[in-house]
Amino acid sequence: MKEENLLRERWLPALTVMMGTAAMVMSSTILNVAIPHIMKAFQMGHEEVQWISTGFLAAMTIAMLSTSWMVLRFGQKQTHIIALVLFLFASLLGGFSPDSQTLFLARILQGVAAGIIQPLSMITIFQVFPAEMRGKAMGIYGLGVILAPSVSPALGGILVDLYSWRLVFFMALPFCLAAFGLSFFYLPGKEKPTLGSDSKLKFDWLGIILLSFSILLLLDGLSQGRNRGWMSLPILLRLGFAFIFASLFLLRESKIVYPLLDLGIFKNKRFVSACIVSFFYGAGLYGSVYLVPLFVQLVAGFTAAQAGMLLIPGGFALGVIMLVAGRLTDMYQSYKIIIVGLSLFAISFFGLYLLRDSTYFLLIGILVTASRAALGFVIPALNAGAIQVLSREFIAKGSGTVNFIRTLGSSFGVNVFASLLDWREELRGGANLNAFQDVFLIVALVFTLSIIPCFFMKQKEEIHV
């Protein structure tokens, strides 16, 4: 009976959010193997096609701050279901897109759904598991979330080669439908508000509008800066207004009763350090996930299916390491484990920078696998380490905030690395090994720098919430 209750009250809710998050994470990466085909289908260059990834990440970044409000307003079950229905609609829209504008809209809607669900997963795990089991739970949860999108690029590549890039939009739907069904049985519904008055539950529409304008103007300015000139009036206006909207957003969040971004949470220095690491981690991770499929297809000459297969061993290695790292996170302070993972990732991309033969499939596969295995150390330790330093009442807000910071870094990374790749290709005479090597070196440096704030995450003693 005790084991049955443990299954129903802890592991089945974790499985439910794991299936939902797997669908979202899969959708964020699977389209990368199809990007060269999409570029041909809609006659797009790097500057335009990067918005398939950047638009998704920007929408996800913005939506993440709404999760804690939605949980309070609708409950975990209803929030999960709303996001899954939106994702289903967006996936169908993307698969049947007649033009690039519809495709971008579908990716933005997918990003909104993903932004709502990912923080919800951490909220659920931290609520149903005691402190001494969270590392293990995060490891097992992460294993399921990572294995699906690790295998899917290979299957997606095969579908792209044999049929069409459109089919990759439908690959996450089985996970989405499974999560949808499980939500009705194993996720808690709406709880009674404890904030004292319904006025505090009003959604901050003005805040989300200010944040949206700030992020979109910043990313657009960064993507257009090299072509138009960094000191040109259009770029200066974009970046200037991005700063103004960001300042207005922060000012508003400091004044209202229930903000999207609770600035008080940043009084915790260890949490701030974890957020800095999360930003660098997001930038390097998604930047690299964007670059590698392009590199192996445009430079190494591999097919979309081969590009996907290249990621499979890394996915399984990542999953195994995550199980180990999850247990280690329950035994040791998180910052030590994070440093190990970031160091190994930087070394693997430095190895890609040193490549002299772009057609050496086995060597590229080993380096990519090593980079994914390295991330297995980072993911559970960073998630647990960021939230573990917060008191219980800040778990929902902390989860949304750290995911927001990481995804903001992801949006920044994809955008900046795509622009850097354009710049290096122009100087190096096209999409060649030297152009990609330059950017691989920058990725390695980003992860090396991200080690520094890890040391500020050190705790004198573990905090259990």
CA–CA separation, 437 vs 420, rounded Å?
11
Measure CA 67 to chain center: 15
21-25, 275-279, 346-350, range with the lowest pLDDT: 21-25
pLDDT at 93 over 90: yes
Q: Tell me: the pLDDT tens digits for 430-456? A: 767 888 888 899 889 888 988 998 888
Residue 145's pLDDT is 62
Residue with more model confidence, 429 or 253: 253
Band (427; pLDDT cuts 50, 70, 90): confident
Our CA dihedral for 371, 375, 377, 378, rounded to 10 degrees, sits at 140
Residue 246's pLDDT is 93
Percentage of the residues of the chain whose pLDDT score is greater than 90: 14
Taking the whole predicted model, whether its pTM rises above 0.85 is answered as: no
pLDDT at 23 over 90: no
Q: Which two tokens stand for residue 402?
A: 């750290």
Q: Tell me: the pLDDT tens digits for 39-58? A: 888 887 766 777 787 788 78
Residues 236-254 have a mean pLDDT of: 93
CA–CA separation, 454 vs 404, rounded Å?
18
Residue 91's pLDDT is 92
Residues 51-66 have a mean pLDDT of: 82
Residue 462's pLDDT is 45
Question: How far from 401 is each of 68, 70, 138, CA to CA, in Å?
Answer: 10, 14, 18
Q: Which long-range contacts (CB under 8 A, 24 or more apart) does 418-423 make?
A: 418/46, 418/47, 418/50, 418/54, 418/223, 418/290, 419/47, 419/222, 419/223, 419/225, 419/226, 421/46, 421/291, 421/294, 422/45, 422/46, 422/47, 422/226, 422/227, 423/226
CA–CA separation, 185 vs 305, rounded Å?
38
Neighbours of 331 (CB within 10 A): 9
Residue 319's pLDDT is 73
Residue 199's pLDDT is 44
Band (463; pLDDT cuts 50, 70, 90): very low
Q: Tell me: the pLDDT tens digits for 202-211? A: 788 899 999 9
Q: Are 378 and 338 in contact (CB under 8 A)?
A: yes
CA–CA separation, 400 vs 269, rounded Å?
17
Q: Which two tokens stand for residue 327?
A: 């247990």
Residue 196's pLDDT is 45
Residues 366-374 have a mean pLDDT of: 87
Q: What average pLDDT does the chain have?
A: 80
Q: Tell me: the pLDDT tens digits for 172-191? A: 888 889 989 988 888 876 66
pLDDT at 386 over 90: no
Residue 195's pLDDT is 44
At residue 286's C-alpha, the angle toward residues 61 and 45, to 5°, is 95
229-238, 323-332, 346-355, range with the lowest pLDDT: 323-332
Residues 255-259 have a mean pLDDT of: 83
pLDDT at 84 over 90: yes
Q: Tell me: the pLDDT tens digits for 129-145? A: 776 676 667 666 766 66
Question: How far from 217 is each of 38, 212, 412, CA to CA, in Å?
Answer: 25, 8, 12
